[in-house]
Amino acid sequence: MAAKQAEQALVQQWRDMLALHARTHCELDRVLHEHRLCASDFEVLDILAEGSVRNGRAYRIQQISERVHLTQSALSRLIARLEREGLVDRDACPEDRRGVRVSLTAKGRALHDEVLPVQRAVLARMLAT
């Protein structure tokens, strides 16, 4: 009986976590829409901004895909759209001709800086315990 209750508690904890993630993601999408972004767009911009601040470098697409929850093809489409909007640049990776590196443009950095407090406020509100 105790094992069954522990299992049910574990499953409920998992479902609660999924529900919190879904609510937070939806709220991020809603507020970021005003800036013509979705949560995944901002997450990529945030990763790129973080990398350029830490070491002034671009990320390979593979490195980004390890940190966002998107398929490789979805991430490639997202990056292509951000590039069309002038927010990121894609360049060939000099150490591996098959690789592609992505970096923020000045426009992408400005948008990231503008939206960062909005995204962080949503996280603080939604994840407050």
- Map out the domains of the chain as residue ranges: 2-127
Dump pLDDT digits (tens) for 93-123.
777 777 788 999 999 999 999 999 999 999 9
pLDDT for res 61: 87
Query: What are residue 116's DSSP bridge partners?
Result: none
Per the CB < 8 A criterion, the answer to whether 114 and 32 are in contact is no
Among 28, 29, 32, smallest CA distance to 114 is for 32
pLDDT digits over 40-98, tens only?
999 999 999 987 655 567 888 888 999 998 998 999 999 999 999 999 999 887 777 77
Report the C-alpha gap between 79 and 69 in whole angstroms: 14
| pLDDT given for residue 114 in this prediction | 97
pLDDT at site 51 = 77
Name the fold adopted by 2-127.
Arc Repressor Mutant, subunit A (1.10.10)
| The predicted structure's pLDDT at residue 129 | 64
Q: Which helix (H) or strand (E) holds 60?
A: strand 59-60
Confidence (pLDDT) at 97: 72
For the entire predicted model, the pTM comes to 0.86
Q: What is the DSSP string of 90-112?
A: EEEETTEEEEEEEEE-HHHHHHH
pLDDT tens digits, 9-31:
999 999 999 999 999 999 999 99
**pLDDT value at position 99?**
79
Sheet of 59-60, strands arranged across: 59-60, 96-104, 88-93
